[in-house]
Amino acid sequence: MRQRFKPWAKEKLIENPKYVSVEPEKMKGKWHTFFGNDNPIHIEVGTGKGQFINGMGKQNPSINYLGMELYDSIIITALDRILEDEKPNVKLIRADASHLLDYFEPGEIERVYLNFSDPWPKSKHAKRRLTHESFLKRYETVLKKPGEIHFKTDNQGLFEYSLHSMSTYGMFFNQVSLDLHKSDMEDNIMTEYEEKFSEKGYRIYRMEAQFRS
């Protein structure tokens, strides 16, 4: 999706170091100091406009949440949401997930969320999918054992690919839903895309996968 360029966004991000890190490699091994406590840290890779990460922060005040997003024009909306509520347990990283190991020490994170990631449907682009083996290796490294990935999508192809990729990698599944909004899951926090797609009647797929300790 093409995003409207916002030339002022980068400066605003830099002006709010309390809530957003634009140089996350400098925080490697020190993320608890960013939050000022030793609570567990969960990250959302591809946080978009921040609706999910903000909702999770409200729902779970004893957990620290980091929303990772690459594009200034998108993450700025997430920052605005955080500034409005001033939740101390929700912060942002402007960063590329492919460099995850540059930002976190092994075991520094306790859970990864992947919500409505780009499906990259062409086979030649499979390595760009956030559930490709190369990304799973990165998540396994930064996650405290036994680490979990919580995944949601409306794309059946990506869901099936991810199930196969994670299973082949040796992960196991604590929960798999082929129609989330018709399941008995309570306290589901929806993303912007999830609201949009569910209103159109699209099926939402969800799973919780865990690495073997």
Active site residues: 118
Q: What angle do CA 140, 73, 67 make, to 5 degrees?
A: 30
Which residue in the block uniquely carries the two structure tokens 């000022």? 36
What number of other Cβ atoms are within 10 A of residue 46's Cβ? Answer: 18
Give the whole-angstrom CA distance, residue 130 versus residue 137.
11
Look up residue 96 and give its two tokens: 């590329």
Q: Is 194 annotated as a binding residue?
A: yes
Q: Is 96 annotated as a binding residue?
A: yes
Q: Is 131 annotated as a binding residue?
A: no
**Closest of 47, 107, 100 to residue 78, by C-alpha:** 47
Q: Is 133 annotated as a binding residue?
A: no
Q: By three-state DSSP, how is residue 140 classified?
A: helix
Q: Is 44 annotated as a binding residue?
A: yes
DSSP symbols for 55-89: HHHHH-TTSEEEEEES-HHHHHHHHHHHHHHT-TT
Contact 64, 133 (CB under 8 A): no
Q: Is 161 annotated as a binding residue?
A: no
Binding residues for substrate: 122, 154, 191-194
Q: Which residues are annotated as a binding site?
A: 44, 69, 96, 118, 122, 154, 191-194
Q: Which residues are annotated as a binding site for S-adenosyl-L-methionine?
A: 44, 69, 96, 118
